[in-house]
Structures are given as C-alpha cells and as structure tokens.
Structure 1
C-alpha cells in the first residue's frame, strides 16, 4: 500500500500533464495572486527563503527539480516553512517569458516538481517558485559552479537511444538497514539521529514504492551492497523481508555484499545465511541481459578486494560468452579516478591489483558495458583506467541525501541513465536534513554533476528481449 502523500503526489504529477496546456495558456498563477503564506509570514515578522534548488533528473521528456522553503524570524533563525510549488518554463531558443508549466497546491517545505511533456534534445529556461519567492541553489560548488543548470537557469533534455525500450533496471546501494545514526565518519562526526531511529526502513520503503509506480516502472532492482548496518541476523532478515515484499530474489531483485554486511570472522555469517555465502560470485539472466554480482569485501576493513577463486570464476564466465551484454555490480568502486577522488582515499576502494585484473577481463569481453558500485554514497561517472568501453558508475545512497536510485533504461540502440530522489514526504524531509552532514559539505560530495546523474550511451542491444521475453 502506498503512503497517502506519495500516492497523492504521483496522481498530481500524472494529472499535471493533462492540465499543462491549460496552465501554460494562462498568466503564471502566483504572479497574479497574493500568496497566503507570504501574508502569514509577514504577520509573524518572518522572511521566507527558497533555496537548495537542484535539477536532479533530466530525461528525454521530463525533469525533476527539488528545493526547500524556510522562514527566517526576527532573530535570523530558519525553520522549515510550507509553501506552494511552481515551475515556469520556456524554450531557450525563444524570446517568450517562462510560463507556469507545473503547479502543486499541496503546501510543503520540501518541494519536488516533476515536469513532463518536454521535447527530447531541447534546451529550456526554467524558474522554480514557492509563492512569491524564487528558489536559488544552495551555496555549494556542485550547483553554483559555472555551466550548471542551476546557475544558468537552462536545462537540456536528453536525446534517447534509438529503438524500443526493452527493460528498466533500478541501480541502488547503501540501504544500511538498522543503522542508528547517519553521517558517522571515522569518529570525527557524531552523526544525525532521526526521532524514530527508523530512517533506513522508511527510506528503503519509499524507494521500493517509487519503483512500482507507472512513471518509474522498474523491471528489476540491483542492490550493490551495504544492505545492513552491521550484518546482524535481525538486520539481514529484516531487509530480506522488505525486499521480498517487492519481488523475488534472483528474478526481480539481485544483491551483493558490502563491507557493512560482514560480521567478524569468528562470528556466524548471518548475511550469508539469508542471501549469499562469502566470496561467491552470482550470475543471472534477464531477457538475454547478463547480471553478475561480485563480493568485493574483506573480512575486516572498509576497502575492497577479490579472492583468486572468484576472479577465476569471473574469467571463465566472460570467456565463455564475451559478447553477451553484461552489467557487473560490486560494492567497491574500481577505477583509479574513484580511488583518488573519494575522501577515504585509495584504501577505501578495490585494491589496485584486482582493479587492473578487472580492466583486463573487461577488455577481452566487449559485452560488458557497465560496472555499478556503491560504498562512496555519491553519484559519480568514473573514468576507466584503460581504453575500454565500460562505464564505471557510482550511485548515491538510498538511506540519506541525495536519497534515491538510478534507473538504467535499456533500448535497442543504447541506454539512458537517470538518478531520481525518492518522493515520499518522510524521505524528502530526511534527505533535506542529511544534506547538512559533514559540516554542510555533503552535497558537494554526494550529488554529483548533472552528467554523472543523467546521460545516454549508444550501443547495439538489438539482440535482447523486451519485458515480455524470457
């Protein structure tokens, strides 16, 4: 059963497409009506601030914008303040004033606007408004730097790959089910606590509900590690129960182990008893597409490695069908670029010997086109260490800001990558709070560039089956 707020939000978004023509024919709603909240805020001596504007998702026909409204009282203190949600839009190659394209009268401090019915490969000027207040990006480099959609006020839709949409995979990671506090780091940061201590649960549930909605329509879910906080029996069974309510392991969803899913070597492997035993590679097929999950964890420590037996098994599989379209997923990032650009340094990702071995295997298996990893809690499109045609993609965490998942839409002529934040009110509230982690630097680390989150790759997948295929 969907959360009422989420159901209402989706219905409002779906209905906005039909209402768009009528709305665009009018003058902007909030430009002609005096906003009720603005009047109320003035009576209370408060000033409304609309900030944290992020152009999160840009597809071929849609875009998702998020921002936050807060009220500043006479003492200068900010608090969340409900307000309306409006987006104004105009083609960038025209001279017309941006007109209201999306409006939501459900008042909230945590704004999520999904704009639909855009033209592929076209640039649009946009403005985000809450009542009479225009939203601006936060003072973070990732959205304020030159050339970003947030700084230019222009977004450009993607041009989709040619051919039919065959299958949609949701890529996710870092659920941390059972975690008591978010933002802990090497004893330097205390972390944020939710009033219920259940934020990993509702963040996961929000993502799972999202993926079943018609506008996401994920066929499969791939979770690249850290399903639990500490790999206990209770956490492992609990997260398995949540995922089993969404689908069947090995058919609808697929998982691999992360460093948080490990117990000390002298204790039982609870995660392994519920999912897969340690140092085991898993292989699945969906519509002709091959999915291979790696266990890149060590018995102790946060860094990653691969055992000789697992590496030999992978070599055997890729050698047997080198041209089969293949997605590989493992918890630890692989590339040198990932090693030097994350705060934990090279010791936080896959060790260099095994990273080189994977690059060599992929070079001899041209069917491998994407390697999905988590662990860093960020969106990052990483450069390969050698000239191979493989995309190395890190995806932001489900359990905290930016709080979402990536959809990998596979077409006959390529694939499209889009990151989405989850939409429930509870998820948007918690994501907004956790963006302040690490002295407010977390957005610069975790959000990633618009290209990291949204891009198209052309490739021949004409031999794959669609959703109705085996």
Structure 2
C-alpha cells in the first residue's frame, strides 16, 4: 500500500469525480496504435530552472482506434528568446529522434534574466495539462515565461543530491485503500519500476552536468523492509558508492522492523519485531553523522515501530543535542524521513498524524534555535516538492523532496557556494524512467501532479547564507 496518497475523504471525492471526468492515464498496451493526424502535445512542465539552464518536459499522445490516448512518437523542438525582446523566440533545441516522452535541457542562459519559451512536436505546440499547478497564473507553463536564478555569491563549494522514497520491492504504485484507486503496475517485459527509477537516479548523478559528490536518501528505501529488499537496495547503492561516505541513508516508515515469519532470520528488535533493514544499514532510532569539508550531515531515524507517523526517541534526541551543543555554529544539514512543521502537517493529504509528532517537532526546532549552523532539513514521506515555514525562531529551510519511485520521479541538487546555496529539482531521464513517470502522473485519478510537483519556487530557489568557512 502506498503511504503517501490522498486521504480517504480526498479519495472518495476523486472516485465521484471520476464518473464525470475523462480518464487521464496512458493506455499501456503495446498493441495500441495511434490514429493519424490526432497528435496532441500535453503535460508541459518547466521542471528545473537554474542560473544558466532550463529543463522542459512534455508528452506527445494520439488516439487509438477506440479513442483512448496512447503515447505517440514525435520529434521535439524548444524555442527561447529574451522576455524583453519584441522578436519571437528562436529554436535553441531540436531532437529528431522520435519518442513520446520529451526532456529538453537548454544551457547557456544568463543568470537573472527573463525568457519566453515554446515547446513543439511535429508542428504542434505543447500545452500544460489541466492541473492547477501548471495553470496557476504566474507559473511558467501558464505565462510562457521563466526567469533564471541568480546564484549565491562566491565560489562553488560542492553539490549534494537529496532523494527519498525508492520503495524497492513495491509492485503496485498508487494504492490507498485496498485496491483503490486503481494502481499502476510495470509492464511485464520491463524491470520492476523501483529498480528502473533507482538505476535512473544513480545514472543521473554521475553525469558531468549533475556531478553530485554525495547522495542523501531520506527514508523508504524499501517497500516492506524484508531481508531480500534490504539486501538488494544496498547492493544497488554499493554499486554507486560507499555507504557512510558517498551515500548516506535514514530509515523511513516502510523500512521499520516487522513481525512475521518472513522476518525471523533478521536482527531482533523491540516487541518481538525483526529488523532486516538494520542488518544492511543502521539500528533503529540511531542517528548517523558525516562530515565533508567542514559541512556536517546528520541523518535522523524518525520511524516508529508500527505505523506511518514519525517520532524521535530520547536516546537519539540526547545524542543530537550533544552534537549540536558541542559545535552549534558548524554548517549543518539534517535529513530524516518525516516532515517536521505544522504547515506540513496541515497541508499533506494524510494530516498532522502523518508527520513528526508535535512534541518532538517542537523540541527539534528548539534545538535548532540554539544551533544557528543548522540551515536545512531534508524530508521525504509526502512524495511532494514543498518548502514549509519553521514554527520556531530558527533560520532553517524545511524541504520535502518528491519521490524517486513515481511521478515526478527525481531528486533535488543542493549546490553550495561561499555565499549560500541553490536548490533544483530534476526528473530522472532514462527512457524507462521517463515512461514510468508519464504513466504514474495519472495516479489518484490524475490528481497526483497537483499534489507532488510543487510550485516552481518549491523546486528551484536560492538561499543566501555564509558558508565562507567551508573547504
């Protein structure tokens, strides 16, 4: 079962709407054929805006003989021009290789400048889907314009990838209550989708245009934390780098200890539970700490023994307090699976019980008030891109990052400079990952993009901060 979809009330409303709204999912049958002259270019999204680049994605579709939308191969072109120029945008990107799933990355832009853009396929201009996120006045998809970021001052320091919610071993994506809403399975001739999406993430991070030095995964590495799932996801990650150096992990609620015969060979945990995840990673409710060039990285285990909510037990809290008290001004990034703030509790679809419990949240933020070096807390769990406000007088950004395993299917890069940092969300871009992301954007009767994609500012922003002491 998915942990992070709409609430029961939202789901029931969606079921009612589904009777009157057209289906938005892709027909996955390989035998479906598109009708000629029925091409549409849809799902336009300006996913990533950095200081010098922009990434635009869209899908081309056509009707099959039964009138159902199916992916349709097409070429791709993006036209861009300065927003303050009277001249029409000109072609700056072209890809003649036919595909339904278009991913156009344009580099060489000027920082802090406004641009107009258009995306085209076979003479058809791409338009955003009927989602509030991309049709909100002021969004790049609505206005046809975007403005590149202005990077923080000073020299670049390092790049860290922030990811979460792999759900290795999961077979059906998008379930909330029993078999509702209709879930999505991978096509039978393709590898399981968690493997596809994890492989796409790891492939992306080694490319020169991403070049992440460290990977942080904030929980839900597995679907049910079996011995096989825990061992397999560790093997995949070890093929990319070394645990505790190249990549760091924190436990999520799906990675918690379990009961049952399937878990009996694993490490013992409280209340007769068995902890297969601990056999591969770290014991339950134990934080991890890592330092790179003066930057401190702290991972918190916010999982509970049973259930989806979050908590921090006293020994781990005391350990964290000791670390922060010993060096309160050291630049520190904290990561853990469960979001922290009241705003997150009120805006996620499962409600306040889904995030870190209120007493622990208040104590955690109180620690941050006395440790001004803490500048960002990275969370997963909600499967969405969202920044929320702290509840205390601490200068900490609380950032939720969308899931690796399903639409929008990606990760965020934290690029640090002497004078601050820049955050950008990236979709993964292997052909299989693009197909799966396009398929799962129809989860929850097509409501998923409005919940998980986030605003352009949630996905792409700059924060000024003094990191001049970092190496």
Aligned to 1:372: 378
1:44 positional shift = 4.6
Aligned to 1:27: none
Aligned to 1:38: none
Q: Give the distance between the partners of 1:325 and 1:67, measured in 2 at CA.
A: 38
1:194 counterpart (180, 186, 191) = 186
Q: SS of 1:322's equivalent?
A: coil
Name structure 1 gaps, 5 residues minimum: 1-42, 466-470
2:103 counterpart (98, 112, 133) = 112
Aligned to 1:443: 449
Contact 1:46 1:74 (8 Å CA) reproduced: no
2:411 counterpart (400, 405, 409) = 405
> What whole-Å deviation, never above 9, does each CA across 1:65-92 have from its counterpart, x for those lacking one?
0000001256532110000111000000
Contact 1:46 1:72 (8 Å CA) reproduced: no
1:258 aligns with 2:252: yes
Contact 2:57 2:101 (8 Å CA) reproduced: yes
1:224 aligns with 2:215: no
Aligned to 2:240: 246
Aligned to 1:354: 360
1:87 aligns with 2:81: no
Relative distance call for 1:44 and 1:406 in structure 2 (3 A) is closer
1:45 positional shift = 4.1
Aligned to 2:23: none
Aligned to 1:66: 57
1:309 positional shift = 1.0
Aligned to 2:388: 382
1:233 aligns with 2:239: no
Instruction: Report 1:39-188 matches (<5 A).
Output: 44-73=35-64, 75-187=66-178, 188=180
Q: Give the distance between the partners of 1:74 and 1:305, measured in 2 at CA.
A: 53
What is the root-mean-square deviation in Å for CA atoms of aligned residues? 1.3
Aligned to 2:202: 208
Relative distance call for 1:73 and 1:242 in structure 2 (3 A) is closer
Matched residue pairs, number?
A: 424
Aligned to 2:28: none
Q: SS of 1:47's equivalent?
A: coil
Which structure shows the bigger proportion of residues in helix conformation? 1
Q: Give the distance between the partners of 1:417 and 1:51, measured in 2 at CA.
A: 26
Name structure 2 gaps, 5 residues minimum: 1-33, 259-270
1:311 aligns with 2:317: yes
Provide runs of 4+ in structure 1 moved above 6 Å. none
1:464 aligns with 2:456: no
Instruction: Report 1:315-330 matches (<5 A).
Output: 315-330=321-336
The higher relative CO (CA closer than 8 Å, separation ≥ 6) is in 2
Q: Give the distance between the partners of 1:448 and 1:44, measured in 2 at CA.
A: 34
Q: Give the distance between the partners of 1:266 and 1:125, measured in 2 at CA.
A: 60
Q: Give the distance between the partners of 1:186 and 1:298, measured in 2 at CA.
A: 21
Contact 2:35 2:63 (8 Å CA) reproduced: no
Aligned to 1:283: 289
Q: Give the distance between the partners of 2:156 and 2:108, measured in 1 at CA.
A: 18
Q: Give the distance between the partners of 2:68 and 2:303, measured in 1 at CA.
A: 44
Contact 2:35 2:62 (8 Å CA) reproduced: no
Contact 1:123 1:156 (8 Å CA) reproduced: yes
> What whole-Å deviation, never above 9, does each CA across 1:8-44 have from its counterpart, x for those lacking one?
xxxxxxxxxxxxxxxxxxxxxxxxxxxxxxxxxxx95
